[in-house]
Structure 1
Amino acid sequence: MYNSKIIGLGKYVPENVVTNDDLSKMMDTNDEWIQERTGIKERRWIEKGSEDTSATMGAKAARIAIERAGLTKDEIDFIVFATLSPDYYFPGCGVQIQDMLDMPTVGALDIRNQCSGFVYAVSVADQFIKTGMYKNVLVIGSEYHSGGLDKTTRGRGVSVIFGDGAGAAVMSRTEDNSKGVLSSHLHSEGKYAEELTVLGPNIKKWVPEILEANDPEDTSYYPYMNGQFVFKHAVVRFSEAIIEGLQANNLQKEDIDMLIPHQANLRISQFVQRKFGLRDDQVFNNIQKYGNTTAASVIIALTEAWEEGKIKDGDTVVLAAFGSGFTWGSVIMKW
């Protein structure tokens, strides 16, 4: 039985920085209001006319991760791409990566688990490697939110939260079962699907209906979030997923060297940190700089934590996420 471990990390974020003060010029909001509710100070939004997309940002992050892994693109056996904002309704971004990186005709799989996307993607790659099917799997989380947000006062409750960006990891086979992914734990509760969603377009409201309606007041194409409801569920599910992972590996909360939570809201991360009694240096947050980049948030944060030397060989690293679906999960790994 093989194990899988991360051997290369990379990230890419657009150059365009959008501050809370910038948003106050678009909608009725201000820096204090946004920071108090979310902890966010700024985020990256793709500028109009830029060539950046979910796929191209993912490709940029992937090239860095592959180089840091000491591999070439031809040594990647499979691609797993997590996003809620693909370049096309179909096909998914995974096949675009295969083309953009000029890779052999390897398989490409797309994950649609929104904020939990990277955690789900890691678990999928881990299983492919552990069963011996693939040796090196490229895992990407990338999001282009800014083009689909309601940037008026009507949409401020959602639009101030989200940012654009991408991260990538190369996961590889190892025979050292004391290193790498120890376990992953995934959950969903679909009865709450419409508490955090984009309702249109969908199969009940397809192209003819969209064209016929042409209704400027139709908000179904913008993200909707029942903020307080999501928050209450998130703090519970985050904790449950982390505890489940620790128990599965006979670990205690004191054994956590680094917790990388999905960057949904700084208040959620701080709540979880207090619940587990973790120090500031045991939890990595960067939502202040990037906002919520959904499927990209965990991998961008993991990459930054590693780049800053906050993750060392032998550390117990916990990834945890909660989001639309509802979906949530955790990954426990030994670095």
Structure 2
Amino acid sequence: MYTSRIAGMGKYVPENIVTNDDLSKVMDTNDAWIQERTGIKERRHIKKGDGNTTAVMGVKAAEIALERAQVSKDDIDLIVFATLSPDYYFPGCGVQVQDLMGIHTCPALDVRNQCSGFIYAISVADQFIKTGMYKNVLVIGSENHSGGLDFTTRGRGVSVIFGDGAGAAVLTRSDTDGHGVLSTHLHSEGKHALELSLKGPSTLHWVPEIIEENPQEDIPYYPYMNGQFVFKNAVVRFSEVIMEGLKTNNLQVEDIDMLIPHQANLRISQFIQKKFQLADDKVYNNIQRYGNTTAASIPIALCEAWEEGKIKEGDTVVLAAFGSGFTWGSAIMKW
């Protein structure tokens, strides 16, 4: 059986920086309130006219990843695109990337696992490579949150958290035993699905029905999050799925060279770091600058950590995520 490894990483975030002070001008909030609860200082938002969409940002990140991997677009065998904010209800962003990049009839699929999307997408790519079906798989996580958030005081509990951006990785067949993706671990618990959800528009609730049946102050086509409940579940599941990955590979917490947690909330990352007694240089966080970019958060952070020289060849790298669904997962890699 083959193994897969990340041959190249890329990231893209819009140039438009939105600070906490900027948000305080349109809703009842302030910098101290946001930082205390989330750790976020600023985030990036698509700006009208800048040409960015979920698919376009994914292409920009992918082009960097391909160049760094020294892999031609014509050598890509499969595209796996993770997002909760596609450009269209259908078709998915994967086929848009195939078209925009000029990749000839390459198969493309979308993964809709929200904050866990990139972990799930890595797992899909890894399995295709392990079975020998494909050699090079392009994995993208990209989000345009700002296009669907409630920027009023009513929506501040959710809207201050999220940002836009994209990250990409080229997974390729590994020729070195013991390197690359060692294992992935995926879970879900659907009974909590509506604790972090966007109910409409959907086939159950199209926009005209929502406007007609609901008062303006209760619009269900903005995201809903039961923040405390999500936080409590996240810290438990993060810990479990990290330990699951370590035990599968006969590793100890002390063997972790770099933990890249999904950038949901700095307080969650700090809780996990403290529980595992990891030094600051063993955990990478950038939510302070980008907010929660959902499926894009892990690839953006992983790319930055590598660019900054904090991940080196031979390092044991752990990726972990938890989010809507509830879904959660981890990936253990030998870089």
1:77·1:106 contact (CA, 8 Å) conserved in 2? yes
Aligned residue number for residue 275 of structure 1: 275
**Matching of residues 1-335 of structure 1 within 5 Å:** 1-206=1-206, 209-210=209-210, 212-213=212-213, 216-335=216-335
1:260·1:319 contact (CA, 8 Å) conserved in 2? yes
Structure-1 separation of matches of 2:185 and 2:292: 22
1:10·1:65 contact (CA, 8 Å) conserved in 2? yes
**Amino acid of the structure 1 residue aligned with 2:91:** P
CA apart distance, 1:8: 0.5
SS in 1 for 2:205: coil
CA apart distance, 1:48: 1.9
Number of equivalent positions = 335
SS in 2 for 1:264: coil
Structure-2 separation of matches of 1:5 and 1:64: 17
1:165·1:296 contact (CA, 8 Å) conserved in 2? yes
1:188·1:328 contact (CA, 8 Å) conserved in 2? yes
Q: TM-score, normalised by structure 2?
A: 0.98
CA deviations over 1:58-87 (Å, ceiling 9, x no partner): 000000000100011001110000000000
Structure-1 separation of matches of 2:149 and 2:210: 18
SS in 2 for 1:106: coil
**Amino acid of the structure 2 residue aligned with 1:111:** V
Structure-1 separation of matches of 2:215 and 2:154: 16
**Amino acid of the structure 1 residue aligned with 2:102:** D
CA apart distance, 1:210: 4.4
SS in 2 for 1:296: helix
1:2·1:177 contact (CA, 8 Å) conserved in 2? no
Structure-2 separation of matches of 1:254 and 1:207: 51
Structure-1 separation of matches of 2:108 and 2:213: 36
CA deviations over 1:201-254 (Å, ceiling 9, x no partner): 122223552475585334211000000000000000000000000000000000
SS in 1 for 2:171: strand
**Amino acid of the structure 2 residue aligned with 1:277:** Q
Structure-2 separation of matches of 1:7 and 1:94: 20
Percent identity reads 77
SS in 1 for 2:232: helix
Q: What is the RMSD computed on CA atoms of the aligned residues? A: 1.1
Structure-2 separation of matches of 1:156 and 1:11: 27
1:234·1:323 contact (CA, 8 Å) conserved in 2? yes
2:116·2:322 contact (CA, 8 Å) conserved in 1? yes
SS in 2 for 1:325: coil
Structure-1 separation of matches of 2:42 and 2:71: 34
Q: TM-score, normalised by structure 1?
A: 0.98
**Amino acid of the structure 2 residue aligned with 1:293:** T
